[in-house]
């Protein structure tokens, strides 16, 4: 393999890692917020009954 | 976002603007440009390992929830930055040395152990129920594991086997000034990036703890 190929493989791997990490942070945050929101609504409903 | 933009700028400058290294000194001179993200990701991993140590020690002795969140967030950040560094290092090793890894090189092995430690902390925390004993165990690993950080730092100075020695902050440094500028931009960008990710990770841990609390309140209310 040429030096250029190694360079491309290395940066593609690192860019993918950074993209995956960023996506994970955003998707975890969104999913947790949605769960918290629905639980808070359920708790409020339970308390009002 | 600022850190990501800086990392993108470093990549662009490293590929387009920074001068090439001497063809005589390197077997794979083009692959040397891996260095512009490899070194900043190692730097970012070291900052994250430092934060992991601080979070672990404060949790262990003060039982501070804030410190536990720092421990969790920095173990995840150190794993991501560590893997980026190991990956890029292996690719560069394959291009330059002909082998991706050298089991006799102290720098490579101590850094890999640090990355494996963060992997253990991330996976371990997810597989164990949260509690003081669990947190103490992981915090102890975070504290004692930190000993590998100074060992990794001095490794190429004391036992240079295969990994190149330091090129900045040393009298033996021979880095071209343009290369140094790109590397500095990279180091600053990855510092901002890792701090941003640790802050985001602490917020995620906070949300997880809030969710657990709400779930237990909901289950109690339904009994």
Whether B80 and chain A come into contact, CB under 8 Å, resolves to yes
pLDDT for residue B170: 62
Q: Is residue B18 part of a domain?
A: no
Structural domain boundaries, residue B68: 35-214
* pTM of this structure: 0.86
Å between A41 CA and nearest CA of chain B = 11
Cβ–Cβ below 8 Å for B91 and A40: no
Q: Is residue B149 part of a domain?
A: yes
* pLDDT above 70: residue B65: yes
Q: Is residue B222 part of a domain?
A: no
Q: Is residue B220 part of a domain?
A: no
The string of DSSP letters for chain B reads: -HHHHHHHHHHHHHHHTSPPPPTTT-SSGGGGGGHHHHHHHHHHHHHHHHHHHHHHHHHHHH--HHHHHHHHHHHHHHHHHHHHHHHHHHHHHHHHTSSS--TT-HHHHHHHHHHHHHHHHHHHHHHS--SHHHHHHHHHHHHHHTTHHHHHHHHHHH--SSS----SSSTT----HHHHHHHHHHHHHHHHHHHHHHHHHHHHHHHHHHHHHHHHHHHHHT-
* pLDDT above 80: residue B92: yes
All residues of chain A having their beta carbon less than 8 Å from the beta carbon of residue B80 are 17-18, 21
Q: Is residue B22 part of a domain?
A: no
Mean pLDDT of successive 10-residue stretches along chain A, which has 49 residues? 80 87 92 93 81
pLDDT digits (tens, 9 = 90+) for B111-129: 999 999 999 999 998 888 8
pLDDT above 90: percentage of residues in chain B = 43
* pLDDT greater at residue B223 or residue B93: B93
| Banded pLDDT at B3 (limits 50, 70, 90) | confident
**ipTM summary value:** 0.84
Cβ–Cβ below 8 Å for A6 and B218: no
Cβ–Cβ below 8 Å for B4 and A22: yes
pLDDT for residue B174: 65
Domain count of chain B? 1
Cβ–Cβ below 8 Å for B91 and A1: no
All residues of chain B having their beta carbon less than 8 Å from the beta carbon of residue A40 are 214
Q: Is residue B2 part of a domain?
A: no
For chain B, give the mean pLDDT: 85
């Amino acid at each position: 393999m040429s030096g250029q190929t190694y360079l491309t493989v290395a940066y593609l791997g690192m860019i993918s890692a950074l993209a995956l990490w960023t996506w994970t942070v955003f998707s975890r945050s969104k999913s947790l917020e949605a769960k918290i929101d629905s639980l808070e609504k359920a708790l409020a409903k339970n308390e009002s009954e | 976002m600022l850190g990501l933009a800086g990392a993108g700028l470093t990549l662009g400058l490293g590929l387009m603007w920074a001068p090439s290294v001497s063809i005589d000194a390197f077997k794979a001179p083009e692959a040397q440009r891996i260095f512009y993200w490899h070194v900043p990701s190692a730097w970012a991993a070291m900052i994250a390992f430092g934060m992991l140590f601080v979070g672990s020690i404060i949790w262990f002795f003060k039982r501070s929830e804030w410190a536990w969140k720092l421990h969790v967030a920095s173990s995840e950040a150190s794993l991501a930055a560590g893997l980026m560094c190991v990956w890029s290092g292996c690719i560069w090793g394959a291009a330059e040395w002909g082998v991706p890894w050298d089991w006799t090189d102290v720098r490579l092995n101590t850094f890999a152990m640090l990355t494996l430690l963060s992997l253990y902390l991330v996976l371990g925390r997810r597989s164990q129920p949260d509690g003081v004993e669990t947190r103490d165990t992981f915090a102890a690993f975070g504290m004692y594991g930190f000993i590998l950080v100074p060992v990794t730092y001095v490794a190429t100075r004391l036992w240079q086997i295969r990994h190149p020695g330091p090129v900045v902050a040393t009298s033996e440094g021979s880095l071209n000034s343009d290369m140094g500028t790109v590397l500095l931009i990279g180091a600053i960008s990855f510092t901002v990036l890792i701090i941003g990710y640790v802050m985001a990770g602490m917020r995620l841990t906070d949300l997880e703890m809030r969710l657990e609390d709400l779930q237990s309140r909901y289950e109690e209310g339904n009994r």
